[in-house]
Amino acid sequence: MKQTSLQIPFQIFKDIHSLDPADAQLLESAKSATRDAYAPYSKFKVGAAIRLLNGHILSGSNQENASFPAGLCAERVALSAASAAFPGIAVTDLALTYVNESGDGNRPISPCGICRQTLAEYEQRFGMPIRLILGAIRGEVFVFNRATDLLPFAFSSWEMTSH
């Protein structure tokens, strides 16, 4: 038996103004996207913005449905928009933020499990890490070097094929 552990490196910034200008711009785009959220049930409006390798920025917001499982998270809306508009172009960064029912939020948001799995597959497809910039309407911002840092031991197609 061998005991081991994992460490997940990430950076904590005091607020959006402490970020690199490019990261702050992406987080601002995510913030703008929260206004397009369709969240009549949760009243929890999430905005995502992604930067592609070609420099384009696309955004997405959560889109809920009366049939709850039919709803989509902001991250996957943005990724799908990118795949439709710029197929085959890698995603390099994703910024995420939210506004809660009170119009506030001071704790960085984190992608749900399904979105982590989706982001992991994008990283695998393009062989490129996706930086995550996780914020809130105010307060600290967390930056991760790659999405898969949030999904250790991810399931992937590797297990489905013989090696």
* 3 state SS of 37: coil
Task: Determine if 115 is a binding residue for Zn ion (CB under 5 A).
Answer: yes
Residue 10: strand pairing partners: 144
Least Å distance between CB 72 and Zn ion? Answer: 8
- Comparison of 22 and 112: residue with beta carbon closer to Zn ion: 112
Task: Determine if 151 is a binding residue for Zn ion (CB under 5 A).
Answer: no
Stretch that binds Zn ion, among 90-98, 114-122, 125-133, 148-156 (CB under 5 A): 114-122
Gyration radius of the chain over CA positions? 16
DSSP-derived letter for residue 53 is T
Q: Which of residues 64-83 bind Zn ion (CB under 5 A)?
A: 73
The structure tokens listed for 38 are 């369709």
Least Å distance between CB 61 and Zn ion? Answer: 12
**Would you tell me the crossing angle of helices 21-33 and 74-85 to the nearest 10 degrees?**
110
- Comparison of 113 and 127: residue with beta carbon closer to Zn ion: 113
- Comparison of 113 and 152: residue with beta carbon closer to Zn ion: 113
Region of 105 on the Ramachandran plot (φ > 0 left; ψ -120 to 50 alpha; else beta): left
140 is catalytic: no
DSSP-derived letter for residue 90 is P
Say how many residues touch Zn ion, by CB under 5 A. 3
State how far the Cα of 129 lies from the Cα of 127, in Å rounded to an integer: 7
The active-site residue, picked from 75, 101, 123, 159, is 75
| Residues designated catalytic | 75
> Interface residues with Zn ion (CB under 5 A)?
73, 112, 115
